[in-house]
Amino acid sequence: SKLSGDHIKLAIQKDGRLTEDTRNLLRTVGLHFESYKQRLFSICRNFPMDILYVRDDDIAEYVAEGVVDLGIVGRNLVVEADKPVEEIMPLNYGHCSLKVAVPAESGISRIEQLAGCKVATSYPVTTSRFFEERNVDVNVITISGSVEITPALGVASAIVDLVSTGSSLRLNDLIAIENVLDSQSVVIANRDSLADNQKAAIVERLLTRFRGVMAASE
């Protein structure tokens, strides 16, 4: 089998927190596709769409570049990628927030108190923009994982990290002092694809099915 030219292409997370809910959504709206663990893509048997499995960090880039027409990814990564893509539908799963957190014992309660301090994050673009907009001059340090341990290591005074239940913050004696961004899983689209009548019609058929499922689950 190979990818077809008159199909639209959708990129979803290959293996992570959003994968199961995303696959369930696609199946719930009636799409039939095989999904073996090792696959790079699947072709829908009953809808003109191919599904590519990729790392979530690459989805916004692939959509922006037109490698795929659509992506399903956390808004946090869409904002961080800062690419010209359209967010066309929130999907109401994968909820989390990007928050500024500090050691509970630090006595810090306002971001202004972080002026001149180091802030560790895996979201340097979003974090830098947030502090710039608030006119607080900080030194943003980019860390790819385990950001929440950096204050205890003396690497940073504060972090900007994703929070869902808050248990990771509590475990590390951190408290959130500001919300930077509320996120959930969203559908993003390539702008040229939306301007192409044939592709846009297929995208709209898919979105109509998503809307039906979302309305039913409310």
Based on the shown chain and the rule CB under 6 A, indicate whether residue 178 belongs to the binding site for ligand PRT.
no
Q: What angle do CA 136, 141, 142 make, to 5 degrees?
A: 125
Would you give the binding string for ligand PRT spanning residues 64-93, x where CB under 6 A is met? Answer: ----------x-xx----------------
Contacts of residue 32, Cβ cutoff 8 Å, sequence gap at least 6: 44, 45, 46, 47
Among 85, 161, 172, 186, binds ligand PRT (CB under 6 A): 161
Footprint of Zn ion on 10-29 (CB under 5 A): none
**DSSP code string of 24-71:** HHHHHTT------TT-SEEE-SSSSEEEEEE-HHHHHHHHHHTSSSEE
Distance CA 201, CA 213 (A): 19
Based on the shown chain and the rule CB under 5 A, indicate whether residue 57 belongs to the binding site for Zn ion.
yes
Number of H helices, E strands in the chain: 8, 11
Residue 168 interacting partner from ligand PRT, Zn ion, none (CB closer than 5 to 8 Å by kind): ligand PRT
Binding residues for ligand PRT, how many (CB under 6 A)? 22
Residue whose CB is less far from Zn ion, 61 or 173: 61
With CA atoms as reference, report the closest residue to 180 among 197, 166, 162, 164: 162
CB of 119 to ligand PRT, least distance (A): 15
Residue whose CB is less far from ligand PRT, 8 or 160: 160
Among 27, 32, 55, 110, binds ligand PRT (CB under 6 A): 55
Based on the shown chain and the rule CB under 6 A, indicate whether residue 102 belongs to the binding site for ligand PRT.
no
Would you give the binding string for ligand PRT spanning residues 183-212, x where CB under 6 A is met? Answer: x-----------------------------
Q: Which two tokens stand for residue 152?
A: 């205890």
Contacts of residue 6, Cβ cutoff 8 Å, sequence gap at least 6: 48, 198
